[in-house]
C-alpha cells in the first residue's frame, strides 16, 4: 500500500486531488496537485480543533472527503497520520511547558485504543463498503452533535 498520498502531495507541493480514485477506494492512486487548498483546509481544521479542543478526526475526515474530494478509506488513513503527527507535536509542547501527565492512565488508554483501532480497521476493511463507512461516520457525527446540543441546552 505504501505511504499515504496526501503526505506525498504535501511534500511535493500538491493540493487538489484528481478524480482518479482507484476502484477499491484506497489511497494508492489518489494524488493531490496543489499545496494551497490542502494547506488552507488543514489550517481551518487546525483552528477548529485547537479552539474547541475536539479530536481532529471529526474535522479532518469531512474536510478530506467533502472539501478535497478524497475517497473515504484514504481519508481515514490520512486522518490517522495527521492526528498522530499533531498529537506528537502537542505532547512535546505540553511537556516543555511542564505539564504532568498520568502516565499509567495514558499507557492503559493507549493500549486499549491501539487494540480497538486494529480490530475496527480490520472489520472496516473486511465488512464495510466505502458507502457504509461514509454513512456510519455521518451518523456518528449526527449523534455527537445531538448529544452536545442537548447538553448545552440542559445546562443553560
Mean pLDDT for 124-146 is 89
Domain ranges across the chain: 1-100, 101-156
Estimate the share of the chain in helix, then strand, then coil, as percent rounded to the nearest 5: 70, 0, 25
Quote the pTM value. 0.65
Q: How far is CA 112 from the centre of its chain?
A: 19
Residue 20 in this model has a pLDDT that exceeds 80:
no
Span 140-150, pLDDT tens digits = 989 988 998 99
Cα distances (angstroms) measured from residue 44 to each of 13, 38, 64, 66: 18, 10, 12, 14
Q: Rounded to an integer, what distance in angstroms lies between the CA atom of residue 30 and that of residue 130? A: 15
Give the model's pLDDT for residue 29: 59
Span 63-102, pLDDT tens digits = 999 899 889 888 988 999 999 998 898 889 989 999 999 9
Task: Identify the CA nearest to 90 among candidates 50, 44, 63.
Answer: 50
Amino acid at each position: 500500500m505504501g505511504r499515504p498520498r496526501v503526505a506525498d502531495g504535501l511534500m511535493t507541493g500538491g493540493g487538489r486531488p484528481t478524480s482518479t480514485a482507484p476502484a477499491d477506494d484506497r489511497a494508492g492512486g489518489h494524488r493531490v496537485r496543489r499545496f494551497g487548498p490542502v494547506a488552507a483546509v488543514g489550517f481551518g481544521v487546525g483552528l477548529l480543533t485547537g479552539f474547541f479542543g475536539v479530536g481532529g478526526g471529526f474535522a479532518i475526515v469531512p474536510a478530506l472527503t467533502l472539501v478535497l474530494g478524497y475517497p473515504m478509506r484514504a481519508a481515514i488513513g490520512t486522518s490517522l497520520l495527521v492526528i498522530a503527527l499533531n498529537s506528537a507535536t502537542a505532547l512535546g509542547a505540553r511537556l516543555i511547558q511542564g505539564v504532568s501527565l498520568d502516565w499509567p492512565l495514558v499507557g492503559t488508554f493507549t493500549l486499549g485504543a491501539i487494540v480497538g483501532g486494529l480490530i475496527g480497521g480490520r472489520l472496516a476493511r473486511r465488512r464495510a463498503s466505502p458507502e457504509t463507512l461514509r454513512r456510519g461516520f455521518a451518523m456518528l457525527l449526527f449523534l455527537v452533535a445531538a448529544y452536545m446540543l442537548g447538553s448545552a441546552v440542559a445546562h443553560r
